[in-house]
């Protein structure tokens, strides 16, 4: 009698049997693949495209995009607006923050086709080197950056934060959800917590935003 640990079939026999089965299947008279099978991927790829329009920084753009294109890639790769940065591409760093219809969003986490007809503001739409937005000027004054990679997202986010406070939108740390929020350091850090700065310029960023919010919020 075989012991419980004695295999009934050797590993070599099992491999040979498997190879023989595979060969038999590959040479069997299975029906030929339909003639259209080869064309299917191309047809599917065409089906993934969509026409849409985006108004970016006051200019209307007609786009014909793969429906899987993120808003971030639409801006950077199709409209050549490379001021908006791709940091993590996973919604974790805030480098890709833009303002869509008045609200800040992570453009890497949303598809361009979801924003057909939307008004998009990127860092290029806020100001120019010759005519900076007050927040851009404050970031320069307060040294609110080091490498600058996070800066476009920080500034777009801060613009929307000041607007949120002005409109009385509470945050997670607001003590009274019905009172008009004050942009305290705690409120500011909470509201800007989605924007990571790997250079650690946080204290200067807070100073820059506080200065502008003080005159606007």
Task: Name the residues that contact ligand FES, by CB under 6 A.
Answer: 86-89, 91-96, 106, 108, 145-151, 197-199, 201
At its nearest, how many Å lie between ligand FES and the CB of residue 89? Answer: 5
**What phi, psi does 103 have (nearest 5°)?**
-120, 140
Segment (H or E) for 61: strand 59-66
d(CA 48, CA 67): 5
At its nearest, how many Å lie between ligand FES and the CB of residue 195? Answer: 9
Query: 86 or 104: whose CB is closer to ligand FES?
Result: 86
Query: 149 or 216: whose CB is closer to ligand FES?
Result: 149
Coil/strand/helix, residue 23: helix
**Burial (Cβ within 10 Å: 0-12, 13-18, ≥19) of residue 129:** exposed
Q: Which tokens belong to 168? A: 């009385």
- 8 A C-beta contact, residue 58 and residue 38: no
At its nearest, how many Å lie between ligand FES and the CB of residue 67? Answer: 19
Query: 153 or 181: whose CB is closer to ligand FES?
Result: 153
Query: 84 or 174: whose CB is closer to ligand FES?
Result: 84
At its nearest, how many Å lie between ligand FES and the CB of residue 75? Answer: 12
Query: 95 or 160: whose CB is closer to ligand FES?
Result: 95
At its nearest, how many Å lie between ligand FES and the CB of residue 156? Answer: 12
Minimal CA–CA distance to 99: which of 149, 158, 58, 156? 156
């Amino acid at each position: 009698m075989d012991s419980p640990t004695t295999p009934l079939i050797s590993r070599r026999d099992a491999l040979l049997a498997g190879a023989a089965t595979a060969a038999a299947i590959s040479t069997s008279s299975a029906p030929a693949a339909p003639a259209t099978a080869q064309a299917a991927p191309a047809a599917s790829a065409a089906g993934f495209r969509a026409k849409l329009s985006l108004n970016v920084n006051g200019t209307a753009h007609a786009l014909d995009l793969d429906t899987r294109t993120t808003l971030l890639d639409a801006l950077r790769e199709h409209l050549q607006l490379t001021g908006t940065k791709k940091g993590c591409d996973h919604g974790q760093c805030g480098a890709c923050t833009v303002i869509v219809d008045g609200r800040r969003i992570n453009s890497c986490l949303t598809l361009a086709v979801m924003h057909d007809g939307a008004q998009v503001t990127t860092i290029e739409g806020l100001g120019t080197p010759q005519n900076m937005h007050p927040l851009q000027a404050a970031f320069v004054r307060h040294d609110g950056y080091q490498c600058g990679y996070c800066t476009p997202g920080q500034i777009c986010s801060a613009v929307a934060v000041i607007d949120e406070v002005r409109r009385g939108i509470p945050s997670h740390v607001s003590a009274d959800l019905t009172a008009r929020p004050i942009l305290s350091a705690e409120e500011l850090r909470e509201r800007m917590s989605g924007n990571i700065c790997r250079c650690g310029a946080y204290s200067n960023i807070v100073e820059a935003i506080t200065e502008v919010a003080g005159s606007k919020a």
